[in-house]
């Protein structure tokens, strides 16, 4: 699975900041995350939903 949702997002924002792209004034409405199979997609989706419902 994703290392953790928080770590995944931190890496994205760190890379954007390193590239000089400021996104902090924008609302995050979606993120694309590619997986190899439908089964992996369903597992990842379930894990992400658990994290976001906390």
3-class SS letters over 6-54: HHHHHHHHHHHHHCCCCCCCCCCCCCCCCCCCHHHHHHHHHHHHHHHCC
Residue pLDDT, tens place only, 8-26: 788 888 999 999 999 888 8
Give the global pTM. Answer: 0.49
Q: Inform me whether the pLDDT recorded for 52 exceeds 90.
A: no
Confidence of residue 6 (pLDDT cuts 50, 70, 90): confident
- Residue 36 lies in domain: 5-52
Give me the pLDDT at residue 20, please. 95
> Into how many domains does the chain fold?
1
Which long-range contacts (C-beta less than 8 Å, at least 24 apart) are formed by 7-11?
A: 8/33
Give me the pLDDT at residue 17, please. 93
Give me the pLDDT at residue 31, please. 76
């Amino acid at each position: 699975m994703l290392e953790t949702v928080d770590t995944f997002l931190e890496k994205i924002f760190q890379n954007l900041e390193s590239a000089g792209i400021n996104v902090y004034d924008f609302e995050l409405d979606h993120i694309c995350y590619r997986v190899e199979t439908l089964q992996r997609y369903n597992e990842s989706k379930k894990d992400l939903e658990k994290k976001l419902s906390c």
